[in-house]
Amino acid sequence: MDTAELIRSVPTDLFLGGRWVPAEDGNTFAVRDPATGDELTRVADASAGDAARALDAAVTAGPGWAATPPRQRGEILRSTFEKITARADDFAHLMSLEMGKALPESRSEVAYGAEFLRWFSEEAVRIAGRYTQAPAGTGRILVTKQPVGPCLAITPWNFPLAMGTRKIGPAFAAGCTMLVKPASETPLTLMLLAQIFAEAGLPEGVLSVLPTSHASAVTGPLLEDPRLRKLTFTGSTGVGRSLAEAAGRSLLRTSLELGGNAPFLVFDDADLDAAVDGAVAAKLRNGGEACTAANRFHVANSVKEEFVTKLLDKMATYRMGPGTHPDTTLGPLINESQRNTVVELVDDAVSAGARVRLGGQVPDVPGWFYPATVIDDVPRQARILREEVFGPVAAISGFDTEDEAIAAANATEYGLAAYVFTKDLDRALRLSDAIDSGILGVNRGVVSDVAAPFGGVKDSGLGREGGSEGIEEYLDTKYIALQ
């Protein structure tokens, strides 16, 4: 369907307790195309009262959903996966419109995001406990798993579908109900997802989607309500800290997937062509607006110039344009504020002595575009080595020894992803122990996998999503002592 028809097909009310309803005060807010700044549509603007009604519905639906046979819960997830796959083009086009990413990126996200629902449809029937004799012979030990209860998911704008399904999938598989507050920049994708869940037979009240332009006014009261039992958030470290503090007052189960500032290490024995391919994938996936994006490129001085020359050739081929255009490979950034952040970090690095080898200038076109950029010889004091750039900028510096490379990689408060290119297996294993990160890519630039646990250490968050570990975030463990 064409753009106008697609936008008209997406509900713009709140999905509350299984029904589409306007916000209680009738307010709406605009969703804009970052390629032009133009308004795409307006959606209902949820208030604290709407959130309370959604939690009421989740609490009411909770016991019935928890008692639903795991196979039945799994079949609803599987059916939703199939329906998303059937409408993959619609989801991809919608994401490119509201988030800006190029269509090939959006298509990849649809496949990735849908896969979480298929994966957790299979995990629903594998929730297990244990039964054993107490060592002292005084009785039997029975351990069971139960859903934690109503959950609040706060999702970011950079992966509008996948960050929702990565939370919704395990929650529903475990038997939890869920309220989702999507990012105000990109609510439409999750509203379409809610429509698909309803078509797949999800019972009323199990899912509510609450777009809002005043997040704290909605999430604050929810975090104070004792009926809410779980918070899951993906976003910035600063916001994550604030949410964790609020959740701590109610001792909520909390999982936080926060910022990253991934190092990308290239050693002198690396296959440089493979390293460049990995660097481009790790840097320009999602236009650099990814928490796993490689930001700090530390390259052995003996091969640095050759690596940079090859990287320049690859990154120069990326074509800026609206994400929905078929020849676009690099869409706009999400908004003016994010582009300003990228500009500030590049300008700071240049003023500190870095050299711009590619890009580095804001184009004179509508929308929030920034070109693929390479800056070389970035000095240690530059902010871009400490702060997450969240844009298509590769900041390169050299090293001479392995210890120097490890120190540079760990010189950050973040610890989500890291990348290493070397042909030396012993070195790769040493680095896997020495680098402070929850994820390490060895000779590969894309690390996300539905079947693997995703999460970080240090200021990159708490808990894991995906893999067999992901469902544990939504389960409580109960010990039953049998005489």
Spatial contact of 103 and 96, defined as CB atoms under 8 Å apart: yes
Q: Longest C-alpha distance within the chain, in Å?
A: 78
| Crossing angle (nearest 10°) for helices 48-67 and 215-224 | 50
Nearest C-alpha neighbor of 303 from the set 406, 396, 435, 424: 396
Q: How far apart are CA 471 and CA 173, in angstroms?
A: 7
- The phi and psi torsions of 14 (rounded to 5 degrees) equal -75, 140
Spatial contact of 183 and 196, defined as CB atoms under 8 Å apart: no
Q: How far apart are CA 345 and CA 375, in angstroms?
A: 11
Report residue 104 as tokens: 């090939």
Nearest C-alpha neighbor of 167 from the set 209, 223, 204, 195: 209
Distance separating the N- and C-terminal Cα atoms of the chain: 64
Report residue 411 as tokens: 């010189």
Spatial contact of 239 and 215, defined as CB atoms under 8 Å apart: no
Q: How far apart are CA 170 and CA 390, in angstroms?
A: 28
Enter the DSSP assignment of 102: -
CB 403: neighbour CB atoms within 10 A?
Answer: 10
Spatial contact of 388 and 343, defined as CB atoms under 8 Å apart: no
Q: Write out the catalytic residue numbers.
A: 257
Spatial contact of 328 and 293, defined as CB atoms under 8 Å apart: no
Q: Give the C-alpha distances (Å, rounded to integers) separating 215 from 1, 43, 163, 212, 399.
A: 32, 14, 17, 6, 43
- Dihedral sign for Cα atoms in the order 440, 444, 447, 450: negative
Spatial contact of 303 and 266, defined as CB atoms under 8 Å apart: yes
Spatial contact of 413 and 404, defined as CB atoms under 8 Å apart: no
Spatial contact of 337 and 386, defined as CB atoms under 8 Å apart: no
